[in-house]
Chain A
Amino acid sequence: MIPPGSLALLAQGAAISLLLAAAAIVGGTALAIVLAAGAFSRIMAVRAAYRVYVYVVRGTPLLVLALLLFYAMPALDLRTGPYIAGTLVLIIYTGALFAEVFRGGVLAIPRPQWESARSLGLPPLAMFRKIVAPLVTRYTLPPYINVCVMTVKASSVLSIISVWELTLAAREIIERTFAVFTILGLAAVFYFVMCFGIDRLGRRLERHLALKGFAEARA
């Protein structure tokens, strides 16, 4: 038996989870582009800063990061609610993961492609827009989607800093109704549907961007 009204609440929670993940994916991607550019900087200090950022953020549990920022922001006199802190934490976290994905993509560009582009005397912005971004997008789509899917699930951690989303909604319903397995099962289904949707979207993008004339591996 599904407790009355719980489906609607879970759906609302899921909508917020999806919104949090979307903000994290958009913000994290933007952050990662800047970070990954830093990874290839000519200035050693910038490259070192990149490594420190990635190691620290990737080497810390998301839960700890969330608590840290949640308590640190008021201490810094930033009066933000848990939603802002939560979104920020997700952006910081996915930014590090996306940055490594992009760095891998840049490393995968064959040297002759760089040489061709350089020999045409392309200015940096055109080089990025016309060569680097399109190639890196194609090379990194599967691991990129991987991180996107993970972000949806990682947003559940924010329930610990009182961000009301799918997991917190489920816990509240459970406290009221004690329908532990029904509600958790339903929450899991909601998460799965969201992740599955992103997976499908990723596949469509992959097909759309597939390099014409190459044998396309379809799994």
Chain B
Amino acid sequence: MIAIRGLRKSFGSARVLHGIDLDIGDGEVVALIGRSGCGKTTLLRCINFLEEYDAGEIRLDGEPLWYRATPGGSRQRVAEADARRQRQQMGIVFQQYNLFPHMTVLDNVLLGPRFSQRVSAAEADQLGRRLLARVGLEAKMGAYPAQLSGGQQQRVAIARALAMRPKVLLLDEITSALDPELVGEVEDVIRSLLSERIMMVIVTHALRFAREVAHRIAYLSDGAILEVGAPAEVLDRPKDPSLKEFLRHVR
């Protein structure tokens, strides 16, 4: 499980996260919703340390991530090698897919297992093919990213994230850049993962999808979680006035 305690972050004088507490249980899917600029993407990026944070603690299965306390009472970044190892326990999928343009689809998926986890070439190849079959793109194995549609690229990106056998999958608005007719194929892949009981943190504007797949929804506003609970509670019986307002606007 992931335990986030007292997470704070500022960009200069702008405070983007102040005091986030959030637990994600094993096999749990949590959706983060809120207006643009509310801090949900920043929170997601803090979890795998694409963003540094100013204070607070993130633990994965009890292990403190990214920083360790010094005897003096302050904190220090963990060594690069430790950070790399910690990152390998998480997969992230970005809004813009971010596949490596100079590699085939299969090589994109293989890269992590092969060079971060030192899996043998044959084993990595097998894993890559299996994952691509899983996202329905076995036939595109030898293609290059720019030869694929957005939906296909995003499915490859999901396979790439899964190839590390992560404990948690971080999804950052993964359907926001897609043409409407391509959203379904990507959402289907995520649905198919629900039976795996892998932890997921999903930043999304698609409330219908969040309601369907998430066990809990957290509503962020101005860098704080104002409401968190089961989808039916948060979406149908919101208590916070700004959440009520937000839901009126997105519907």
Chain A contacts to B: CB under 8 angstroms: 112-113, 115-123, 126, 130-131, 134-135, 138, 211-214
- Please measure, in the bound complex, the distance between the C-alpha atom of A134 and the C-alpha atom of B84, giving whole angstroms: 22
A106 to chain B, nearest CB (A): 15
Chain B contacts to A: CB under 8 angstroms: 48, 50, 81, 83-88, 90-92, 94, 96, 98-103, 111-112, 115-116, 143-148, 160, 164
Chain B residues lying within 8 Å of A123, measured Cβ to Cβ, are 81, 84, 115-116
Q: Are B101 and A211 in contact (CB under 8 A)?
A: yes
Q: Are B102 and A121 in contact (CB under 8 A)?
A: no
Q: Are B98 and A115 in contact (CB under 8 A)?
A: yes
Q: Are B50 and A118 in contact (CB under 8 A)?
A: yes
Q: Which among B90, B101, B102, B143 is the interface contact of A119 at CB below 8 angstroms?
A: B90
Q: Are A120 and B116 in contact (CB under 8 A)?
A: yes
B175 to chain A, nearest CB (A): 17
Chain B residue at minimal CB-CB distance from A137: B102
Q: Are B87 and A121 in contact (CB under 8 A)?
A: yes
- Please measure, in the bound complex, the distance between the C-alpha atom of A48 and the C-alpha atom of B111, giving whole angstroms: 34
Contact flag A214-B101 (CB < 8 Å), given A120-B116, A122-B116, A123-B116: yes
Chain B residues lying within 8 Å of A211, measured Cβ to Cβ, are 101-102, 144, 146
Chain A residue at minimal CB-CB distance from B142: A212
Chain B residues lying within 8 Å of A135, measured Cβ to Cβ, are 101-102
Dominant secondary structure at the A interface: helix
Chain A residues lying within 8 Å of B94, measured Cβ to Cβ, are 112, 115-116
- Please measure, in the bound complex, the distance between the C-alpha atom of A102 and the C-alpha atom of B111, giving whole angstroms: 24
Q: Are B48 and A122 in contact (CB under 8 A)?
A: no
Chain B residues lying within 8 Å of A113, measured Cβ to Cβ, are 98, 100
- Please measure, in the bound complex, the distance between the C-alpha atom of A125 and the C-alpha atom of B201, giving whole angstroms: 30
Q: Which among A112, A118, A122, A213 is the interface contact of B111 at CB below 8 angstroms?
A: A122
Chain B residue at minimal CB-CB distance from A112: B98
Could you show 13 A-B contacts with beta carbons less than 8 Å apart? Answer: A113-B100, A116-B94, A117-B100, A119-B90, A120-B116, A121-B87, A121-B112, A126-B116, A130-B115, A135-B101, A211-B101, A211-B102, A213-B143
Q: Are B144 and A121 in contact (CB under 8 A)?
A: no
A215 to chain B, nearest CB (A): 9
Q: Are A119 and B50 in contact (CB under 8 A)?
A: yes
A150 to chain B, nearest CB (A): 27
Chain A residue at minimal CB-CB distance from B164: A120
Q: Are A121 and B116 in contact (CB under 8 A)?
A: yes
Q: Are A120 and B146 in contact (CB under 8 A)?
A: no
Q: Are A112 and B96 in contact (CB under 8 A)?
A: yes
Most buried by B among A119, A131, A138: A119
Q: Are A134 and B112 in contact (CB under 8 A)?
A: no
- Please measure, in the bound complex, the distance between the C-alpha atom of A4 and the C-alpha atom of B169, giving whole angstroms: 77
> Considering the complex of A and B, which 8 residue pairs feature the smallest CB-CB distances, nearest first?
A213-B146, A126-B115, A213-B147, A212-B144, A121-B84, A121-B87, A120-B112, A121-B88
Q: Are B98 and A116 in contact (CB under 8 A)?
A: yes
Chain A residues lying within 8 Å of B164, measured Cβ to Cβ, are 120-121
A166 to chain B, nearest CB (A): 38
Chain B residues lying within 8 Å of A126, measured Cβ to Cβ, are 111, 115-116
